[in-house]
Amino acid sequence: MMYYFIIAVLFIVLAVIIFAKACIISFVDGNAWRKLGEKQIRSNVQVPAVRGDIYSCNYELMATSEESYRLYIDFFAEGIQEDTLYKYVYPLSVELNKRFPQRSAAEYKKHILHGWNIRSSKNREYLLLGQNVNYLQLKAIQQMPFFNKGRNRSGLYTKSFVKRIKPYGTLASRTIGDIYGEFEKGGKNGLEMQYNELLSGQPGTSTRRKVNGTWMNVVDEKPVHGNDIVSTIDIHIQDITEKALMNKLREIDAESGTAVVMETATGEIKAITNMGRVREGVWGETKNYAVSDLSEPGSTFKVVSMLVALEDGLVHPDDPVDTGNGVEQIAGHELRDHNAHHGGYGMITASKSIRYSSNIGVAKLIMQAYNSHPEKYVDGVHRIGFHRDMHLEIPGYGIPYIRHPKDTARYWSRSTLPWMSFGYETQIPPIYTLSFFNAIANKGKLIKPIFVREIRENGHSIETKKTEVINSKICSPSTLTFIRQMLDDVVNCSDGTGKPARSDKVRIAGKTGTAQLSQGAAGYKSGGLSHQVSFCGYFPSDDPQYSMIVVIRKPRHGPPSGGMMCGTVFKTIAEEIYSRNIITNTKAFPTDTIHPVEAVVKKILDDLKTEAGLVPDVRGMGAKDAVYAMENAGLCVNLVGRGAVIAQSIPPGSKIEKGRTVVIQLK
> 533-547: per-residue pLDDT in tens?
999 999 999 999 999
Strands 509-516 and 228-231: unpaired
Least confident range of 105-114, 275-284, 474-483, 582-591: 582-591
Look at residue 502 in the predicted model and tell me its pLDDT.
95
List the alpha helices (DSSP H) in 312-429. Answer: 350-355, 359-370, 374-384, 416-421
Categorize the per-residue pLDDT at 339 as very low, low, confident or very high, splitting at 50, 70 and 90: confident
pLDDT (tens digit, 9 = 90+) per residue, 301-310? 999 999 999 9
Q: Is the pLDDT higher at 26 or at 588? A: 26
Instruction: State the average pLDDT over residues 280-301.
Output: 90
CATH topology of domain 593-666: Trypsin Inhibitor V; Chain A (3.30.10)
Least confident range of 246-250, 337-341, 388-392, 482-486: 337-341
List the alpha helices (DSSP H) in 298-373. Answer: 302-311, 350-355, 359-370
Look at residue 45 in the predicted model and tell me its pLDDT.
65
Look at residue 23 in the predicted model and tell me its pLDDT.
66
Mean pLDDT taken over the chain: 83
Categorize the per-residue pLDDT at 313 as very low, low, confident or very high, splitting at 50, 70 and 90: very high
pLDDT (tens digit, 9 = 90+) per residue, 33-87? 555 555 555 666 666 778 888 999 988 888 888 778 888 888 887 778 877 888 8
- What predicted TM-score, i.e. pTM, was given to this entire model? 0.75
Select from 124, 133, 115, 123 the least CA-distant residue to 70: 133
Dihedral angle sign, alpha carbons of residues 293, 296, 301, 305: positive
Listed by start position, the domains of the chain span 47-231, 235-573, 593-666
* CB neighbour list of residue 241: distance below 8 Å, 6 or more residues apart: 259, 261, 271, 272, 273, 573
| Spatial distance between the Cα atoms of 626 and 637, rounded to a whole number of angstroms | 9
Categorize the per-residue pLDDT at 353 as very low, low, confident or very high, splitting at 50, 70 and 90: very high
Domains 235-573 and 593-666 alike in fold: no
pLDDT (tens digit, 9 = 90+) per residue, 181-237? 655 567 888 898 888 888 888 877 777 665 555 555 666 777 788 899 999 999 999
Question: Are 388 and 401 a contacting pair, CB within 8 Å?
Answer: no
Question: Are 48 and 184 a contacting pair, CB within 8 Å?
Answer: yes
Most confident region among 8-22, 133-147, 201-215, 499-513 by mean pLDDT:
499-513
Instruction: State the average pLDDT over residues 472-487.
Output: 96
| Spatial distance between the Cα atoms of 604 and 601, rounded to a whole number of angstroms | 5
**Helix 430-441, helix 302-311: angle, nearest 10:** 40
| Spatial distance between the Cα atoms of 62 and 648, rounded to a whole number of angstroms | 10
Give the type of residue at 400: P
Q: How many CB atoms lie within 10 A of CB 385?
A: 18
Look at residue 528 in the predicted model and tell me its pLDDT.
40
Q: Is the pLDDT of residue 581 over 70?
A: no
Give residue 326's region: left, alpha or beta (phi > 0; psi -120 to 50): left
List the alpha helices (DSSP H) in 166-288. Answer: 173-176, 190-194, 196-200, 235-252
Contacts of residues 326-334 at CB distance under 8 Å and 24 or more positions apart, as own/partner, are 326/360, 328/360, 328/364, 330/360, 330/363, 330/364, 330/367, 330/415, 330/418, 331/413, 331/414, 331/415, 331/417, 331/418, 332/414, 332/415, 333/415, 333/419
Q: Is the pLDDT higher at 357 or at 523? A: 357
Q: Is the pLDDT higher at 227 or at 580? A: 227
Most confident region among 12-16, 284-288, 473-477, 654-658 by mean pLDDT:
473-477
Instruction: State the average pLDDT over residues 249-261.
Output: 95
Instruction: State the average pLDDT over residues 323-331.
Output: 90
Look at residue 122 in the predicted model and tell me its pLDDT.
64
Strands 204-211 and 214-221: antiparallel
Categorize the per-residue pLDDT at 137 as very low, low, confident or very high, splitting at 50, 70 and 90: confident
Give the type of residue at 577: I
Look at residue 455 in the predicted model and tell me its pLDDT.
93
Q: Is the pLDDT higher at 521 or at 442? A: 442
Q: Is the pLDDT of residue 102 over 80?
A: yes
Instruction: State the average pLDDT over residues 323-350.
Output: 90
Instruction: State the average pLDDT over residues 116-141.
Output: 81
Q: Is the pLDDT of residue 444 over 70?
A: yes
Q: Thinking of the domain 47-231, which architecture would CATH place it in?
A: Alpha-Beta Complex (3.90)
Least confident range of 27-31, 127-131, 179-183: 27-31
Q: Which residues of 438-453 are buried (b: 16+ CB within 10 A; e: fewer)?
A: bbbbbebbbbebbbbb
Least confident range of 97-106, 371-380, 502-511: 97-106
Instruction: State the average pLDDT over residues 308-320.
Output: 96
Q: Is the pLDDT of residue 525 over 80?
A: no
Question: Are 223 and 204 a contacting pair, CB within 8 Å?
Answer: yes
SS (H, E, C) 434-488: HHHHHHHHCCCCEECCECEEEEEECCEEEEECCCCEEECCCCCHHHHHHHHHHHH
Categorize the per-residue pLDDT at 418 as very low, low, confident or very high, splitting at 50, 70 and 90: very high
Q: Is the pLDDT of residue 484 over 60?
A: yes
| Spatial distance between the Cα atoms of 369 and 358, rounded to a whole number of angstroms | 17
CATH topology of domain 235-573: Beta-lactamase (3.40.710)
